Amino acid sequence: MKIYHNPRCSKSRQCLAIVEEKVPETEIEIVKYLDTPLSETQLKEIIGLLGIKPIELVRKNEKIWKEHYKTLTLTDDEVIKAMCEHPKLIERPIVIHDNKAIIGRPPEKVLDIL
């Protein structure tokens, strides 16, 4: 199991706590994606597992998005590139388990793939 985590985010911390409580025996790889940004390939793979369009993974209320991207018409690849350049734009947390992925918002949504 892998969780793309931002320890400063309360929803991300809540999601991780649910995972640790519900499946304590499971090894969890915690990826602090702000410290270790994702490549375009990794992000495309995650988006594929989520079954969403890249724009659906963007935190549109982030200052970076509002100031630099909001008014633009971007291709999927351009949205992915923006998230790679500015990992803060990636919605969190993302949990991957058994080739399934979810965005943990609300945190209890993680129960759907456990």
Show which residues are catalytic.
9
- Rounded CA gap, 100 and 112, in Å? 10
For CA atoms 43, 45, 48, 50, the dihedral sign is negative
